C-alpha cells in the first residue's frame, strides 16, 4: 500500500534479502546482522516510487551512524554555495531563522553559523550531531516529525527556511513531515529539499541508489502530488549534478509564491520519457540484471588471470551492488575508504574488509571498483598515483567499463 496515498504499489524489482547499508559490523560480530527484503515499486495512483518494506528508523539512524557529509570536498563546496544562496535570497528579514532536517556533521549549517544567522539542525544520529555541535552549530538530537517540529516552533518561533538534503527521501512518514513543516514554517517561508532524481536513476541505471535508507525515489510528478495532498504547492525545481543527479524541490504554502515554468516543463519531460509506464521500469530491471552479470563475469575473469581487485568507497550504495550481485571477499579482497568509523569493520552482508584509503597506493592492486562513482572526479584526482602506476578503475554504471 502506498505510503503517501494508500493505493496499490506495483512492484517492479526485488533485490531480495539485503542488510542495513550503513551498518559496518566488526569482523567477529557478523552473526547478528539485520536483513530485510529490498523491493521497489511504483504507486498506481500517485506514481510515487517507494520501497515495499520499511526498516525501523532507529536501526538506521543512531549514535553510530557512520556517514559523514563533510568527507567530500565537492559536497562541502556544494553546501557552502547552498547556504550562501539562502543567506542572499531567503534569510533577508530581520532576525531570520533556518532549520535543517538531517544536518549530519554540519556541512551546510557551518556557513550559516559563520554568517551569525539563527539556525537549528535536527539530527537524530548522535555521533554526527555531536561533531557539528563541537563546531558551535546549534543542533537537537532528534527525528524531525510533527511533534518535534511543534516543539521547535514553540521554543524558537517560525522558520523562514526549512532545508533538507538527502534526507526527505529517507523518511517514509512524509505525512508527519509535512504536518511538522506546516506547524513550523513562517507564512511566506519555503521548504526546500534535494534528493536523488528518479529520472537520472533510470537514465544512468544507478540501481545502487536503491537501499534501505532511500525509501522514496522522487520524481517531480510524484513530489508535486505529495505536496498538494499535504496542503502545499511545489513552486520550483532545479536539477543538480551532485550524487549522480538530484532535484532540488522548493515547496511553499499555496498562493504565496509564483510557480516557475520549470515545474510543468519537467513534468512534461517525465511523461514523454515514459516515467509513468511500467515498461520503463521493466527495462530498468533488465538493465540491472545485465550490469550485475557483466560485473561478476569481469571480476571472475580477472580473478582467473590472477589479478588483484579491490573496491574504493565503502558507500551505502555498494551494499546493494555487492549483495545483489553476490560479490564477496573472493572477488574483491578489500574496500578502501577515508571514513575512520568504517576502518577495521567489514562491509554489510558481503563481509569484505574495509581499510583506510591510503592502502590503495600502498598496495597498488591491479584494479579498483569505484563504488563511490558519485565522487569520480574528486577520487580519480586524489588517487592519480594509482592510475599512473598502472592501476585501472572499474565502473559499473551506466554499464561496466574499465578506465
Ligand atoms: N544532509 C546531509 C546528510 C544526509 S544523510 C547530506 O546531504 O550529506 C541523511 C541524514 O538524515 C542522516 O544524518 C540521518 O541521521 C538523518 N535523518 C534520518 N531521518 C531523519 C529525520 N526524521 N529527521 C531528521 N534527520 C533525519
Ligand atoms: P557517498 O557515495 O557520498 O554516499 P553513500 O554512502 O550514501 O552511498 O559515500 C562516499 C563514501 O566514499 C564515504 O564512505 C567516503 C568515501 N570516500 C573516499 O573513500 N574517498 C574520497 O575521496 C571520497 C570523496 C569519499
Which runs of consecutive H residues, i.e. helices, occur in 115-219? 126-134, 146-156, 174-184, 198-204
- Which pairing describes strands 401-402 and 354-356: parallel, antiparallel, or unpaired? unpaired
Best of 18, 196, 313 for a ligand 2 pocket test (most atoms within 8 Å of beta carbon):
313
Give residue 375 CA to ligand 2 midpoint distance, Å: 7
User: 106 CB under 6 A from ligand 1?
Assistant: no
CA distance 157 to 245: 34
Compute, in angstroms, the gap from residue 67 CA to the centroid of ligand 2.
Answer: 8
Cell of 287: 538493465
Q: Name the closest-CA residue to atom 21, ligand 1.
A: 143
pLDDT of residue 301: 98
Q: What is the DSSP letter of 208?
A: G
**pLDDT under 70: residue ranges of the chain:** none
- Per-residue model confidence (pLDDT) at position 156: 98
* Most ligand 2 atoms within 8 A of CB, residue of 208, 214, 338 to mutate: 338
Radius of gyration of the chain (CA): 21
CA-to-CA separations, 158 to 238, 251, 322, in angstroms, rounded: 25, 16, 45
Q: Is the CB of 111 under 6 A from ligand 2?
A: no
Q: What is the pLDDT of residue 148?
A: 98
Q: What string of DSSP letters covers 161-175?
A: EEEEES-GGG-S-HH
Predicted confidence at residue 199, as pLDDT, reads 98
Give the model's pLDDT for residue 351: 98
Query: 71 CA distance to ligand 2 centroid (A)?
Result: 7
Task: Output the CA 103–ligand 1 centroid distance in Å.
Answer: 6
- Please state the length of the chain: 403
CB-ligand 1 contact for 102 (6 Å cutoff): yes
CB 336 within 8 A of CB 312: yes
Q: What per-residue confidence (pLDDT) applies to 159?
A: 98
Strand order in the sheet with 246-252: 139-140, 118-122, 97-101, 159-165, 185-196, 246-252, 233-240
Dihedral sign, CA of 125, 131, 133, 137?
negative
CA gap 3, 48 in Å, rounded: 9
DSSP string, 31-96: TT--EEEEEEEEETTT--EEESS---HHHHSSTT----GGG-HHHHHHHHHHHHHHHHHT--SSS-
Strand 392-395's sheet: what is its strand order?
A: 354-356, 335-337, 309-312, 367-370, 392-395, 401-402
Amino acid at each position: 500500500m502506498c505510503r503517501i496515498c494508500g493505493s496499490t504499489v506495483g512492484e517492479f524489482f526485488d533485490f531480495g534479502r539485503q542488510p542495513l547499508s550503513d551498518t559496518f559490523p566488526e569482523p567477529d560480530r557478523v552473526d547478528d546482522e539485520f536483513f530485510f527484503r529490498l523491493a521497489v515499486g511504483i504507486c498506481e495512483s500517485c506514481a510515487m516510487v517507494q520501497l515495499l518494506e520499511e526498516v525501523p528508523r532507529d536501526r538506521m539512524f543512531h549514535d553510530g551512524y557512520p556517514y559523514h557529509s563533510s568527507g567530500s570536498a565537492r559536497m562541502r563546496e556544494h553546501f557552502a554555495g547552498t547556504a550562501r544562496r539562502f543567506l542572499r535570497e531567503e534569510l533577508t528579514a530581520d532576525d531570520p531563522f533556518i532549520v535543517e532536517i538531517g544536518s549530519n556533521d554540519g556541512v551546510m549549517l557551518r556557513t550559516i553559523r559563520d554568517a551569525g544567522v539563527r539556525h537549528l539542525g535536527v539530527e537524530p544520529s548522535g555521533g554526527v550531531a555531536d561533531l557539528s555541535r563541537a563546531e558551535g552549530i546549534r543542533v537537537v538530537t532528534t527525528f524531525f516529525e510533527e511533534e518535534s517540529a511543534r516543539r521547535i516552533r514553540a521554543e524558537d518561533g517560525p522558520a523562514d527556511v526549512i532545508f533538507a538534503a538527502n534526507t526527505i527521501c529517507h523518511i517514509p512518514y512524509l505525512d508527519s513531515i509535512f504536518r511538522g513543516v506546516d506547524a513550523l514554517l513562517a507564512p511566506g517561508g519555503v521548504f526546500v529539499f534535494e534528493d536523488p532524481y528518479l529520472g537520472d536513476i533510470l537514465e544512468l541505471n544507478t540501481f545502487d541508489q536503491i537501499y534501505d535508507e532511500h525509501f522514496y525515489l522522487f520524481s517531480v510528478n510524484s513530489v508535486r502530488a505529495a505536496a498538494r495532498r499535504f496542503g502545499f504547492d511545489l513552486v520550483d525545481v532545479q536539477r543538480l549534478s551532485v550524487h549522480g543527479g538530484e532535484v532540488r524541490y522548493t515547496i511553499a504554502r499555496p498562493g504565496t509564491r509564483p510557480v516557475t515554468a520549470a515545474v510543468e516543463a519537467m513534468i512534461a519531460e517525465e511523461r514523454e520519457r515514459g516515467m509513468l509506464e511500467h515498461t520503463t521500469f521493466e527495462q530498468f530491471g533488465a538493465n540491472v540484471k545485465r550490469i550485475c552479470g557483466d560485473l561478476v563475469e569481469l571480476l571472475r575473469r580477472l580473478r582467473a588471470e590472477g589479478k588483484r581487485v579491490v573496491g574504493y568507497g565503502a558507500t551505502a550504495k555498494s551494499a546493494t551492488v555487492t549483495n545483489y550481485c553476490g560479490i564477496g571477499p573472493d572477488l574483491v579482497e578489500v574496500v578502501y575508504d577515508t571514513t575512520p568509523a568504517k576502518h577495521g569493520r567489514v562491509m554489510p552482508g558481503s563481509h569484505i574488509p574495509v581499510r583506510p584509503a591510503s592502502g590503495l597506493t600502498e598496495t597498488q592492486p591491479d584494479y579498483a571498483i569505484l563504488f563511490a562513482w558519485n565522487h569520480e572526479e574528486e577520487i580519480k584526482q586524489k588517487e592519480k598515483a594509482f592510475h599512473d602506476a598502472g592501476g585501472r578503475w572499474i565502473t559499473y554504471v551506466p554499464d561496466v567499463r574499465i578506465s
